[in-house]
Amino acid sequence: MTTNGAAGPPRHLRTPEAARFLGLSDRTLEKHRSYGTGPIYRKIGGRVVYTLDDLQAWSERGARTSTSDPNAQVVSPAKRHAASAPAFIAPVTRGEETGR
């Protein structure tokens, strides 16, 4: 893994720093993480951290040369998609669980 031009370990950013780096709000980055649409992250000691390389790679997916760029990749919005949302399950009423 490369670093930001300096020798040594990659720099890890916590959610507020990573969000500022990307120009997003903390909450938007949290939503991306929750929905699986955001950059790669790590959990270290219960803390969520991002590397600069992973943030830059995710950001580069949104790079375009024009509005009709045929080679453009997609950076999904921070929202739940219908395919990943759980289907509604009707609550079980008393007596149904045993078939009575």
DSSP string, the chain: ---SSSSSSPPEEEHHHHHHHHT--HHHHHHHHHHT-S---EEETTEEEEEHHHHHHHHHTT--SSTT-TT------SS--TTTSPPP-PPPPTTTTTT-
pTM over cut 0.75: no
What pLDDT does 63 receive?
83
What pLDDT does 70 receive?
77
What pLDDT does 94 receive?
66
In the chain, where the domains are located:
12-60
What pLDDT does 77 receive?
77
Per-residue pLDDT tens, the chain, 100 aa: give them: 454 555 677 789 999 999 999 999 999 999 999 999 999 999 999 999 999 999 999 999 888 878 887 777 777 777 776 554 455 555 666 665 555 5
Angle (CA) 49 26 12, round 5°: 20
